[in-house]
Amino acid sequence: MKSNYKRIGDYIRPLKVKNTDLKAKELLGINIDKFFMPSVANVVGTDLSKYKVVEKNQFACNRMHVGRDYRIPISCADKDEPFMVSPAYDVFEIKDTKVLNPEFLMMWFSRKEFDRNAWLYTDADVRGGLPWKSFCEMQLPIPHPDKQRAIVKEFNTIQNRINLNQQLIQKLEETAQAIYRQWFVEGIDLENLPEGWRVEKLQNFCTKIGSGSTPTGGKDSYSKSGISLIRSTNVFDYNFSFDDLAFINERQAKKLKNVEIEENDILFNITGVSVARCCMVPENVLPARVNQHVMIIRPFSNLNISFYLLLNLCSTDSKNTLIGISQSGSTREAITKSEIEEFEIVVPDSDKLKKFESQMQMIFTYKDTQSLENQKLTELKELLLSKLASV
């Protein structure tokens, strides 16, 4: 280990403050992406005085499943008001914040390299727990406090810009959804459609509906670069996530030639917990293929209906219908190719559809610009985190 690296345990102290006076009202958990979130635990009838209290600039972590998840859920509190966490969590604080900045330490905990190192310290338990002693033995560089503050400021500038962009993206999505509902849902009687409107099966508007497969060798065959392989973890409603994007080589891609992605394709998850999530393929992910969990829905290019199909498939009514017809007694929800092909949608008259597509084109082009900027900012943020090892 480098000479300027210091043992984490020398700079932190564990806390075991219980909520005995019930001062803390809010119960939070820790997301695997390292932020506090509302707990989903049922606490009806639970003695909340036994839960641990977390104050501002204090940390909480869950060391129980590091070996299984390859990550350690850990976060630093930025709330002015105290809150509760599970008694199973560890709560700790920095001994002297003039020596070690809490935000700088949290930046270190956010590094992918930190998670990989934590995994190496896990025990032999089936869940791969990380012993507290081992956690304290892990090390980090501690530069001069002024340097720490400068690094934190640079990081926060990037993160704040990402947050602002994300708020704008959410507003644009809400605007698109509101226009869709106002034009095509509210006040529409399916038994008495407006003149020129009709009900059609989805397959009548598509030149391709189909899913791919996982290359031979599974995850072990993925590359660090090459042809993008889109999986269900990349597909969210209206948004494509570049996190954990897999790549395959030319030979593997050739075997998946029949599921080659094209611009304006709609990506639709057909299995698992993310079933029925869908988005439009971003141009900067091409060339690409899909695996067996993602369906390509490719409208005829001359119909100018891509955004309408996207908003329709992302709507609550469509999701409920598609998921509802896919139950086969299995605990995993799934939607088959034939169910998508036979799925019926209301198609408005061509003039209204053309106006809608034009408005959506402007909204989604602006949204994609913000998403692309966030992708670049996230890469910059990850680069800054990776450079912490050499400060």
Q: Give residue limits of the domains in the chain.
A: 5-142, 198-347
SS3 category, 255: helix
H or E stretch at 341:
helix 337-342
Q: Is the pLDDT of residue 126 over 70?
A: no
Class level of CATH domain 198-347? alpha beta
Class level of CATH domain 5-142? alpha beta
pLDDT (tens digit, 9 = 90+) per residue, 267-284?
Answer: 999 998 899 999 999 888
Q: What is the mean pLDDT of residues 50-58?
A: 97
Name the β-bridge partners of 294.
269
Contacts of residue 124, Cβ cutoff 8 Å, sequence gap at least 6: none
What is the maximum span of the chain, computed from C-alpha positions, in angstroms? 77
Provide the whole-model pTM. Answer: 0.86
pLDDT, residue 216, reads: 74
Q: What are phi and psi of 93, to 5 degrees?
A: -140, 165
Contacts of residue 263, Cβ cutoff 8 Å, sequence gap at least 6: 281, 283, 286
Q: Are the CB atoms for 244 and 224 separated by under 8 Å?
A: no
Q: Is the pLDDT of residue 329 over 60?
A: no
Closest CA to 364 of 168, 123, 231, 140: 168
Tell me which amino acid residue 72 is.
I
Tell me, yes or no, if the two domains 5-142 and 198-347 fold the same way.
yes
Report how far residue 227's alpha carbon sits from residue 176's, in angstroms, rounded to the nearest whole number. Answer: 31
List the single range of 85-94, 95-104, 310-319, 331-340 with lowest mean pLDDT. Answer: 331-340
**What does the DSSP assignment read for 39-94?**
-----TT--GGGSEEE-TT-EEE--TTHHHHSS--EEE---SS-EEE-TTSEEEEE
Residue 29: count of CB within 10 angstroms of its CB: 17
Q: What is the mean pLDDT of residues 342-356?
A: 95
Sign of CA pseudo-dihedral 124, 125, 126, 129: negative
Share of the chain above pLDDT 90, in %: 78
Q: Six-digit token pair at 307?
A: 């955004």
Angle in degrees, 0-180, between the axes of helices 350-386 and 145-184, rounded to the nearest 10? 170
Q: What is the mean pLDDT of residues 93-110?
A: 97
Report how far residue 339's alpha carbon sits from residue 325's, in angstroms, rounded to the nearest whole number. Answer: 8
pLDDT, residue 127, reads: 64
Residue 121: count of CB within 10 angstroms of its CB: 19
pLDDT, residue 55, reads: 97
> In which band, very low, low, confident or very high, does the pLDDT at 330 lie, cut at 50, 70 and 90?
very low
Report how far residue 213's alpha carbon sits from residue 223's, in angstroms, rounded to the nearest whole number. Answer: 16
pLDDT (tens digit, 9 = 90+) per residue, 294-304?
Answer: 999 999 988 88
- E strand segments, 169-257: 198-201, 206-211, 227-230, 235-236, 239-240, 246-248
List the single range of 170-179, 231-240, 319-328 with lowest mean pLDDT. Answer: 319-328
pLDDT (tens digit, 9 = 90+) per residue, 131-187?
Answer: 999 999 999 999 999 999 999 999 999 999 999 999 999 999 999 999 999 999 999
Name the β-bridge partners of 18.
52
Q: Is the pLDDT of residue 98 over 80?
A: yes
CA angle 75/81/84 to nearest 5° reads 55
pLDDT, residue 66, reads: 87
Question: Please, what is the average pLDDT of the chain?
Answer: 92
Rg (CA), the chain: 25
HSE-up of residue 322 (Cα within 13 Å, Cβ side): 31
pLDDT (tens digit, 9 = 90+) per residue, 172-229?
Answer: 999 999 999 999 999 999 899 999 999 999 999 999 999 998 887 666 678 888 999 9
Q: Is the pLDDT of residue 39 over 60?
A: yes
- Distances in Å between the alpha carbon of 341 and those of 79, 203, 264, 277? 49, 5, 18, 17
Strands 227-230 and 288-290, by their bridges, are parallel
